[in-house]
Amino acid sequence: METEVKLTKLASCAGCGAKIGAGTLARMLEGFRTHSDSRLIVGYDKSDDASVYVLDKNTALIQTTDFFPPIVDDPFLYGRIAAVNAMSDVYAMGGEPKLALNILCAAETMSEEAIREILRGGYDAAYEAGAIITGGHTIRGAEPIYGLAVSGFVHPQKVLTNSNAQPGDVLILTKPLGIGILTTAAKAELADKEILNKIYAQMAALNKTARDIMVTYPVHSCTDITGFSLLGHGFEMAQGSNCTLHITVDEVPYHPEALEFASMGLVPAGAYRNRKYAGPGVKLCREISLAMQDILYDPQTSGGLLFSLPEKEAQACLRELQDQIPHAAIVGYVTEREEAFLCLH
């Protein structure tokens, strides 16, 4: 639907590109007093996608929240993408989202109809995921912001974290990169409708199918690729696992149009924050163009899952994924810790 005011014009940053840098966030949280609890098996100290608290021997609670400014002008699509992005953290932990709360800040210039459509988009995504939105909180403010606080469930023995990759594992990525660059180009009115429709559909797609297939294999580690980019999230996986991730750059799926815009310098600020954070842990093992590096550092909104599993299982898993998610690809492998946490080949 058309809105009186374009939503993206009301926001200074788009989508997950608005995230505070990972390095900055870690410094800000350092030294806080926190309670310890043996049932909390994943907390914020692990830089993981969500917290996990064991309720009983068969059930663990996953909690997460995610919200951001508009990345598209259509309010329904914005609401859906933001909700899909928030629920993705639960899928990355191997769980299923079940309950959610709306988080909404509406700009003063927004109509009631636009606000309703944002919320409808969120409810639409939650319904498809099998989750229930049970309430939330809404305020007025300078910029629109929408997302969800999500609770999900998983068996305590089947929790996936971003810190358990094993030497000998293969890495699979389920969605192509380039979202941040392309939405930056869209804000400058340089991206054509065909590519925008393609990336909008990608961002609006749940990671449910990828999760449902992934958990039938002996996956060791998983994260979803969002604002910290493939290399930022990969860096956290490598650090947490005390391994080195080798990325085969030519195998990484990305939108070709993003490479062209990156070559023109249309790169979101978040990519530079991601480079500053993860760059010291990255080794270039061959010459890689600056534009391609920008894609690898590009902040993604509602990106795919990156997970590691034994090499002997990887091809079967990939075939099953590609039957429903054509862009899924093997993008690298894991070794014992080397000098760098990430090696680009």
Taking the C-alpha atoms of residue 47 and residue 245, their distance in angstroms, rounded to an integer, is 17
Closest CA to 153 of 48, 65, 54: 54
- Whether 181 and 267 have beta carbons less than 8 Å apart is answered as yes
State the pLDDT at residue 3.
Answer: 44
Q: Is the entire prediction scored with pTM above 0.85? A: yes
pLDDT (average), residues 61-79 = 94
Does residue 5 surpass a pLDDT of 80?
Answer: no
13 counts as catalytic: no
At 37 the pLDDT is: 84
252-292: per-residue pLDDT in tens?
999 999 999 999 999 999 999 999 999 999 999 999 999 99
Of the listed 13, 16, 105, 243, which one is catalytic?
16
* Per-residue confidence (pLDDT) for residue 48, from 0 to 100: 67
On the question of pLDDT at 4 being above 80, the answer is no
Structure confidence at residue 162 (pLDDT) = 94
- What is the amino acid identity at position 201? A
Mean pLDDT of 48-67: 92
How confident is residue 94, by pLDDT bands cut at 50, 70 and 90?
Answer: very high
Q: What is the predicted pLDDT for the residue at 188?
A: 87
Give the C-alpha separation, 205 to 214, whole Å. 16
* pLDDT average, residue stretch 320-342: 97
Going by the DSSP 8-state scheme, the letter that residue 280 receives in this structure is G
Q: How high is the pLDDT of residue 16? A: 46
246 phi, psi to nearest 5 deg: -105, 120
Which helix (DSSP H) or strand (DSSP E) does residue 164 occupy?
A: none
Q: What's residue 22's pLDDT?
A: 53
What pLDDT digit, counting tens, does each position of 220-249 carry?
A: 999 999 999 999 999 999 999 999 999 999
CB 163 within 8 A of CB 237: yes
Half-sphere exposure at residue 280, Cβ-oriented, CA atoms within 13 angstroms = 5
E-assigned strands of 3-73?
40-42, 51-56, 59-68
pLDDT at 34 exceeding the cut of 90: no
Residue 191 has φ and ψ, to the nearest 5°, of -90, 135
State the chain's mean pLDDT as an integer: 92
Beta bridge partners of 100: 133, 150
Split at pLDDT 50, 70, 90, the class of 91 is: very high
Per-residue pLDDT, 298:
97
Structural domains of the chain sorted by starting position, each given as residue range(s) with its CATH number in brackets: 7-158 (3.30.1330.10), 169-344 (3.90.650.10)
Residue predicted with more confidence, 46 or 284? 284
How much of the chain, in percent, has pLDDT values that exceed 70? 90
Averaged pLDDT for residues 323-333? 97
Q: Say what the pLDDT of residue 43 is.
A: 77
Q: Is the pLDDT of residue 45 over 70?
A: no
Residue with the bigger pLDDT between 250 and 7: it is: 250
